[in-house]
Structure 1
Amino acid sequence: MAKPVVSLQLYTLRDQTEKDFLGTIRKVAEMGYTAVEFAGYHNTPANELKALLDELKLEAPSAHVGLNFGEPEKIATDLDKQIEYAKELGLKYIVTPWAPLPENPTMDDVNKLAGILEAAGKQVTAAGLKYGYHNHDFEFKQVDGKPVIDWLLEKVSADYLIAEFDLGWVHMGGQKPVDYVTRYAGRVPLAHFKDFGVGRSDTEVGSGVVDLKGVLAIAEQVGIEYFIVEQEQFQNSSLESAKLSLNFFRENGF
């Protein structure tokens, strides 16, 4: 296995991308990141965005693409547009970043969500891309003695659904990140590196309490291709935090 590539989820820099999307991507490359994950494109034509990525020699393996859960009849049509854009951009993965679940989910809720994810996965796969799901902590609620996330990954074939484990949220869900990437080895090409400090406040990668180093040690063995930094709350600036998180990987040989 090749050494995983360190990537930045651009949602981390949303305060910057709202003002200057393309200029912010330039700053990410100047920082030393070699890949980005998208969370929206700010109405930028795909060919223009691809030209910038090529110029900066930035990889863009994936994008977070929400499904229209509020209007299920529009999910497939909306997703088709996203697939077309992703293919023009040269993405490999389309990842759903969130799904609605009730406070106390039942097996009916699990089955309904699994059906939606499977249909999306088949649609994305038929277009030549791979489809994934990104967790928070609520997918670790138990239904019939097993976390929802495990039910989803059991009910939807690995052919149609990869896991983009958010390691910080795995931890906040009461589980060990190492256990999850090991259990689903070969099905976790993308891993979100999110760290938590006090309570539910996230912090720079490597400066919190989540066992991320444990995942670094086995990343190649379990087939992780991209380490993706994501942070939502900042003490100083989002750009400064992104630099500090990159330093964690540099200090650990990546």
Structure 2
Amino acid sequence: MTYKIAYQLYSSRYFPPLAAQLPLLKAMGYDAIEPWLPAYEADPSLFRRQLDDAGLACYGFHMPLSGLVDEPNRFIDIALTLGANVLIPPYVTAEEREPTADYYRALGEKLGRGADAASSHGLKVAWHNHDFEFVPLPDGTRPIDHIFEAGGKDVWFEIDCGWIVRAGVDPAGEIQRFADRIIAIQTKDTAPAGTTVDEGWTATGDGIIDWRLLAQNFHKTAADHLVVEHDNPSDWERFARRSINFIRGIGL
């Protein structure tokens, strides 16, 4: 299967202006971008025009969990303006987290309520993981399992393979476990442990993940696109180009 490929603009947030990056990403072969707050917040209509001018789509965007809880209609309107289908809360800070099943079940319930609100507009809600969701709680259970069990079947999953590897967990197993929920796959790659350059992240294919092997599981999911991301590249263009060239080079 040939997947559509989106670029997470968070990757190049330190190289403004973002609008100037869009035609370059299109020329590299990207089909879409996945923005994060505040890239689209000031003027969603202008941001949409910039995407249209570059010939890029927006399949989903990252947003705060608090926005889904407290301002769902505002972010639903933004999704409709951008032409996005998926609202994606990606994180809760370490200060917010509590090491209990109840905390993560409550988080899942918030996502579920957001999904209910979004569904009437033809939109979906997905959670994006980091590493902490896969670290067992004191009772031995995992946050990720509580989030999705409490969230219900309408909460989708944008799975970040790089963060799962950093949690010491096998991403193939998690792709299989959550296959029916996975709506997008982030091909984030990580360098060997102890690497300090670029915070230990690297272009897809340049790190320790065996993507050819892992990709054998992709077709089991509901995902129709991949998302390229790097948390802090020193050269965003090199990262973006090497990543998409590698992904296309292995037939994805």
Same fold (TM over 0.5): yes
* Match of residue 53 from structure 1: 51
Q: Is the 8 A contact 1:8 1:230 kept in 2?
A: yes
In 2 relative to 1, CA 75–57 (structure 1 residues): closer, same or farther, beyond 3 Å? closer
In 2 relative to 1, CA 42–105 (structure 1 residues): closer, same or farther, beyond 3 Å? same
What TM-score does the superposition give when structure 2 sets the normalisation length?
0.88
1:86 is displaced (CA, Å) by: 1.0
What TM-score does the superposition give when structure 1 sets the normalisation length?
0.87
Amino acid at match of 2:240: A
* Match of residue 144 from structure 2: 149
1:201 is displaced (CA, Å) by: 1.2
* 1:215 and 2:214 matched: yes
Amino acid at match of 1:162: W
* 1:99 and 2:92 matched: yes
Amino acid at match of 1:176: D
* Match of residue 241 from structure 2: 243
* Match of residue 168 from structure 1: 162
* 1:129 and 2:120 matched: no
1:196 is displaced (CA, Å) by: 0.8
* Match of residue 179 from structure 1: 173
Amino acid at match of 2:71: D
Q: Is the 8 A contact 2:68 2:75 kept in 1?
A: no
1:77 is displaced (CA, Å) by: 4.1
Equivalent of 2:107, from 95, 108, 113?
113
Partner SS state of residue 5, structure 2: strand
CA–CA separation in structure 2 for the residues paired with 1:22 and 1:64: 18
CA–CA separation in structure 2 for the residues paired with 1:100 and 1:130: 23
Amino acid at match of 1:122: D
Amino acid at match of 2:101: M
Q: Is the 8 A contact 1:4 1:219 kept in 2?
A: no
* Match of residue 21 from structure 2: 24
CA–CA separation in structure 2 for the residues paired with 1:107 and 1:221: 28
In 2 relative to 1, CA 43–156 (structure 1 residues): closer, same or farther, beyond 3 Å? closer
Q: Is the 8 A contact 1:201 1:233 kept in 2?
A: no
CA–CA separation in structure 1 for the residues paired with 2:172 and 2:11: 24
1:75 is displaced (CA, Å) by: 5.2
* Match of residue 189 from structure 2: 195
Which residues of structure 1 form unaligned runs of 5+? 69-73
Amino acid at match of 1:24: Q
CA–CA separation in structure 2 for the residues paired with 1:81 and 1:54: 22
1:33 is displaced (CA, Å) by: 0.9
Q: Is the 8 A contact 2:189 2:208 kept in 1?
A: yes
1:124 is displaced (CA, Å) by: 2.1
In 2 relative to 1, CA 42–152 (structure 1 residues): closer, same or farther, beyond 3 Å? closer
CA–CA separation in structure 2 for the residues paired with 1:221 and 1:109: 30
Partner SS state of residue 145, structure 1: coil
Partner SS state of residue 130, structure 2: coil
Partner SS state of residue 65, structure 2: coil
CA–CA separation in structure 2 for the residues paired with 1:125 and 1:106: 29
* Match of residue 67 from structure 1: 65
Amino acid at match of 1:214: L
Q: Is the 8 A contact 1:4 1:227 kept in 2?
A: yes
Instruction: Quote the RMSD (CA, aligned, Å).
Output: 2.1
CA–CA separation in structure 2 for the residues paired with 1:42 and 1:128: 20
In 2 relative to 1, CA 55–42 (structure 1 residues): closer, same or farther, beyond 3 Å? closer
Q: Is the 8 A contact 1:7 1:227 kept in 2?
A: yes
* Match of residue 196 from structure 2: none
Sequence identity percentage: 26
Partner SS state of residue 227, structure 1: strand
Partner SS state of residue 165, structure 1: strand
1:178 is displaced (CA, Å) by: 1.2
Greater shift after overlay, 216-225 or 39-48?
39-48
Deviating 4+ runs (over 4 angstroms): 101-104
* 1:37 and 2:30 matched: no
In 2 relative to 1, CA 192–94 (structure 1 residues): closer, same or farther, beyond 3 Å? same
Kindly tell me the number of residue pairs found equivalent between the two proteins.
Answer: 244
